[in-house]
Amino acid sequence: MLLKEFKNRKIILASKSPRRQYLLKELGLIFEVDTKEVDESFPENLKAQEIPLYLCQKKADAFKEELSNDTIVITADTIVWLENQVLNKPENFEDAVRMLQLLSGKMHEVYTGVCLKSKNKTKTFYAVTKVYFKILTLEEIEYYITNYNPYDKAGAYGAQEFIGYIAIDKIEGTYFNVMGLPLKELYENLLAF
């Protein structure tokens, strides 16, 4: 069974991320993009997958007043988890350097939480991918930050950009999760929804 039965439903992707929009389009879904300003703070006691699950639910709840039975909103949130700490989006150049230096030569986990919400139903799930980085030089890090845009990316990097090409030694899990949307899990959960 494919996603063709969703042609009668209105799908909203609540994300400004061009990567998520591209991936959802590649899945064959017809959707519109609509976002709401949502405070992305979270309780400090949350760990690993609890953070993106909390945030994607929060983003979906912002739509609850306007959802009908024929509308599904898809929200997602991605974090990088390294040595029991979260690396969100970098605040500036120095913060991006700091994050990439922390990731250099180590394994980190990328968690993406996804929420599917209609008027009467909510489903949240997550995917985790282990990413192994080689040791990066300061020159490589600064080149990447200067020539690409890491400021909208958890952990200050995009796997589909220069740093991903040169730094990733190995991935355990789904690559698309590292890009911000676990497509296999999303496909399966949409079919079940």
pTM of the model: 0.93
Q: Are 93 and 109 in contact (CB under 8 A)?
A: no
Give mean pLDDT in consecutive 10-residue pieces for the chain, a chain of 193 residues. 68 92 90 92 94 97 89 96 95 97 98 95 96 97 95 93 95 94 93 87
Residue 59: give the domain boundaries: 3-192
Write out the catalytic residue numbers: 77
With vertex at residue 66, the alpha carbon angle to CA 65 and CA 68, rounded to the nearest 5 degrees, is: 110
Q: pLDDT value at position 1?
A: 46
Number of domains in the chain: 1
Tokens of 79: 């974090």
Q: What is the CATH number of the domain that holds 169?
A: 3.90.950.10
Number of CB atoms found within 10 A of residue 185's CB: 17
